[in-house]
């Protein structure tokens, strides 16, 4: 299929995201989207800010702003940070916009018509000191299963079990710390997930393009048995609870639960894009409008998997409408800060806006993808960051490009030279390139990013290895044709190295290709079977030596950054 719909988990509106958030969803989705576009696919990459829920209310109150104004301001901040990291969204929307509200209310209505939503009186924790019902996440206490002391009312981050606030031992308000809590009755809409147990299990077990992490989390939830969940909350900020376009009696002071409406924003943001650009959106999401030829790929961290593999599919499948469901789901573990959690309040870790103050986005992009937390959590340390950037980018790619372009400019006039006939050395390089490009393409298609980065690095390294063997600076003294051949071959490999770098380090790749005079139409993903890849540049093509691509990160910088951000080594 040539049409690919890509979504990454929505960044929450409350604060700039840290490097772990970036590495677990938005960045790999961007790298994959860029690869597929270079491969000639019709790609639609959608993301948005997730703006509802109690955290937004509390953050707005702390800033003495209305929630709407707070979200307006933070949306701009988040969008700027994403732009700084060259995230190539086709559209970046907002869950508080009108399309998401209309879609959320529509889904609630059809689910209720299908017997999957009903009103129930439930018990909910009420904080006397705070004067409000507490959403699940804002009740903390001891997990009844593993004794973790900071379990939340919706889930224990230690053992992963789904909880209800009333299950917690020694509960307290996460807002004020008050233990003056009591359980009061309140009426909510419940999504009857238990009715969809078999339907969702059949759907999950039929998924063939999910990695083990995503599948195991989904099946764990299903094995434990799906529980009916409230999809409304006693809040003022959120999507109003309507029925047939009118306020639902008894729900005038309630809104839909953020985790019910947030995934629907994937569709909502696509509709926002359509309204903003006079495009259409149904063919991406409705199978009766052409979406049956779309491959839908989701990216997210492991803590979001259950909602995307169970709760959101219940909404989609339970509607009995022809909506597109996910085909491939790429889940990531966590990037940790020296093995612990990132923390804004404790000044532990680097966040997206801060990272861009320290170094260009490309170096962060490369390091995070080269160490993507695919099979396990990955600890970020500044020392490892320095080592990877200096070795892979400065010493391997940067050195290769600089050596051959500088030599060519000084000795051969800055043009692609003619002369020489490919020999055993060039044939060896061509065979190696064919194998490695084929493997690289396969890794990208399979979304195995660490392997893709390793293969990319190997192709860059092949350039330095070829130059070491061909030694055009020696050959030029006695054999001008042989020197011209090796220079021409290396310059072609510079272009290939830059083309395959575009998904990961787009700014640096663009500088190289601009300097080499490669037009946009020739920057497509290379075909491993193309025997002429190392002889594609026109003879006589003028090129220039690009500026320094990567400055090495110094020990002094690492020491300074470590003190600033709470490094632990």
Average pLDDT, the chain: 95
Q: What is the per-residue pLDDT across 36-50, written as a single tens digit (0 to 9) for each?
A: 999 999 999 999 999
Token code pair at residue 22: 């970036």
Residue 380: its pLDDT value, please? 96
Please say if the pLDDT value at position 122 is more than 90: no
Please say if the pLDDT value at position 136 is more than 90: no
Q: What is the per-residue pLDDT across 320-340, written as a single tens digit (0 to 9) for each?
A: 999 999 999 999 999 999 998
Please say if the pLDDT value at position 345 is more than 80: no
Please say if the pLDDT value at position 7 is more than 70: yes
18: left (phi over 0), alpha (psi -120 to 50) or beta: beta
Please say if the pLDDT value at position 12 is more than 80: yes
Please say if the pLDDT value at position 114 is more than 80: yes
Residue 1: its pLDDT value, please? 64
Handedness of CA 527, 530, 532, 536 (dihedral sign): negative
Please say if the pLDDT value at position 522 is more than 90: yes
Q: Which contacts (CB < 8 Å, 24+ apart) does range 219-224 have?
A: 220/160, 221/162, 221/306, 221/309, 221/310, 222/197, 222/310, 224/162
**What are the distances in angstroms from CA 514 to CA 347, 446, 510, 518, 535?**
40, 30, 6, 6, 18
The average pLDDT across 461-487 equals 96
Residue 342: its pLDDT value, please? 85
Please say if the pLDDT value at position 569 is more than 90: no
Residue 567: its pLDDT value, please? 83
419: left (phi over 0), alpha (psi -120 to 50) or beta: left
Residue 555: its pLDDT value, please? 97
The average pLDDT across 105-126 equals 95
Q: What is the per-residue pLDDT across 523-548, written as a single tens digit (0 to 9) for each?
A: 999 999 998 999 999 999 999 999 89
Residue 524: its pLDDT value, please? 98
Residue 473: its pLDDT value, please? 95
Residue 359: its pLDDT value, please? 97
pLDDT-based confidence at 241, cuts 50/70/90?
A: very high
Please say if the pLDDT value at position 437 is more than 90: yes
CA distance 464 to 399: 8
CA distance 181 to 171: 8
* Cα angle 493-495-498, degrees, rounded to a multiple of 5: 110
Q: Which of 185-194, 337-346, 506-515 has the lowest mean pLDDT?
A: 337-346
């Amino acid at each position: 299929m040539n049409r690919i719909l890509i979504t990454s988990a929505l960044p929450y509106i409350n604060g700039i995201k840290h490097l772990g958030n970036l590495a677990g969803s938005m960045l790999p989705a961007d790298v994959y989207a860029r690869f597929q576009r270079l491969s000639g696919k019709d790609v639609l990459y959608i993301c948005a800010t997730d703006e509802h829920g109690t955290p937004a209310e509390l953050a707005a109150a702390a800033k003495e702003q209305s929630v709407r104004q707070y979200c307006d301001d933070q949306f701009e901040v988040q969008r700027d940070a994403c732009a700084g990291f060259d995230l190539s969204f086709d559209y970046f929307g907002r869950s508080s916009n009108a399309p998401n509200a209309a879609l959320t209310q529509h889904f609630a209505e059809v689910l209720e018509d299908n017997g999957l939503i009903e009103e129930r009186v439930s018990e909910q924790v009420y904080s006397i000191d705070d004067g409000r019902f507490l959403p699940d996440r804002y009740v903390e206490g001891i997990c009844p299963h593993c004794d973790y002391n900071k379990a939340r009312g919706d889930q224990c981050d230690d053992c992963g079990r789904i909880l209800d606030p009333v299950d917690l031992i020694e509960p307290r308000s996460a807002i004020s710390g008050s233990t003056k809590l009591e359980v009061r009755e309140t009426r909510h809409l419940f999504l009857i997930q238990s009715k969809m147990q078999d339907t969702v299990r059949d759907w999950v077990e039929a998924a063939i393009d999910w990695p083990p992490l995503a599948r195991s989390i989904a099946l764990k939830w299903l094995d434990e048995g799906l529980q009916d969940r409230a999809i409304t909350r006693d809040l003022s900020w959120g999507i109003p609870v309507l029925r047939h376009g009118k306020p639902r009696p008894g729900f005038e002071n309630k809104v839909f639960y953020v985790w019910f409406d947030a995934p629907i924003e994937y569709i909502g943001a696509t509709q926002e894009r359509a309204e903003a650009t006079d495009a259409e959106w149904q063919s991406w999401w409705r199978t009766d409008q052409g979406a049956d030829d779309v491959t839908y790929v989701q990216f997210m961290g492991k803590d979001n998997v259950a909602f995307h593999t169970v709760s959101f599919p219940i909404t989609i499948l339970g509607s009995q409408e022809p909506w597109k469901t996910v085909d491939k789901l790429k889940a990531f573990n966590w990037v940790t800060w020296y093995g612990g959690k990132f923390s804004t309040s404790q000044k532990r870790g680097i966040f997206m806006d801060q990272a861009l103050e320290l170094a260009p986005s490309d170096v962060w992009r490369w390091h995070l993808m080269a160490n993507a937390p695919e099979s396990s959590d990955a600890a970020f340390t500044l020392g490892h960051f320095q080592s990877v950037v200096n070795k892979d980018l400065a010493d391997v790619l940067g050195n290769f490009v600089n050596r051959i372009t500088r030599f060519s400019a000084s000795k051969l006039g800055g043009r692609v030279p003619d002369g020489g006939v490919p020999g055993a050395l060039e044939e060896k390089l061509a065979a190696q390139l064919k194998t490695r490009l084929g493997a690289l393409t396969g890794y990208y298609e399979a979304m195995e990013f660490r392997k893709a980065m390793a293969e990319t690095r190997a192709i860059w390294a092949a350039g330095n290895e070829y130059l070491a063997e061909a030694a055009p600076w020696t050959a030029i003294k006695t054999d001008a044709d042989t020197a011209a051949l090796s220079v021409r071959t290396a310059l072609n490999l510079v272009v290939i190295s830059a083309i395959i770098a575009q998904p990961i380090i787009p700014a640096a790749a663009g500088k190289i290709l601009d300097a080499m005079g490669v037009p946009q139409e020739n920057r497509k993903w290379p075909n491993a079977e193309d025997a002429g890849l190392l002889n594609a540049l026109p003879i006589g093509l003028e090129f220039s030596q690009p500026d320094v691509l990567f400055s090495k990160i110094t020990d002094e910088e690492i020491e300074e950054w470590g003190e600033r951000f709470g490094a632990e080594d």
